[in-house]
């Protein structure tokens, strides 16, 4: 049996509904991922970077890879005037 890559495992976790994103607020992200050996908290914190509570202890675990497939970080900034829906702009 060939070893499953991190990317393949991450995609499978998404397909199996193992990843639950609990917060996305600007540059801050938190989620819970249920892996083969348990459920782990993970996310991104401004100034700390990406983190995961699983034993891998690097940013190359399948839990973070799954989270990266479904999140885009966007630093907080004041709402621009263009944020007004076009239908109400006039």
61 scored as a contact of Zn ion (CB under 5 A)? yes
Binding to Zn ion (CB under 5 A) within 16-55 occurs at: 52, 54
Strands of the chain, DSSP E: 19-25, 28-34, 39-45, 49-52
User: Which residues in 53-62 are b (16+ Cβ under 10 Å) and which e?
Assistant: bbeeeeeebb
Binding region for Zn ion (CB under 5 A) out of 5-13, 24-32, 59-67, 80-88: 59-67
- Closest distance between Zn ion and the C-beta of residue 47, in Å? 20
- Closest distance between Zn ion and the C-beta of residue 37, in Å? 10
């Amino acid at each position: 049996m060939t070893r499953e890559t991190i990317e393949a495992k991450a995609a499978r976790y998404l397909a199996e509904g193992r990843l639950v994103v609990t917060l996305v607020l600007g540059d801050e992200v938190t989620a819970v991922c249920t892996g083969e050996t348990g459920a782990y908290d993970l996310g991104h914190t401004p100034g700390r970077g990406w983190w995961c509570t699983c034993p891998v202890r690097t940013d190359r675990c399948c839990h973070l890879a799954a989270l990266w497939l479904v999140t885009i970080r966007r630093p907080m900034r004041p709402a621009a005037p263009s944020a007004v829906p076009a239908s109400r702009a006039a």
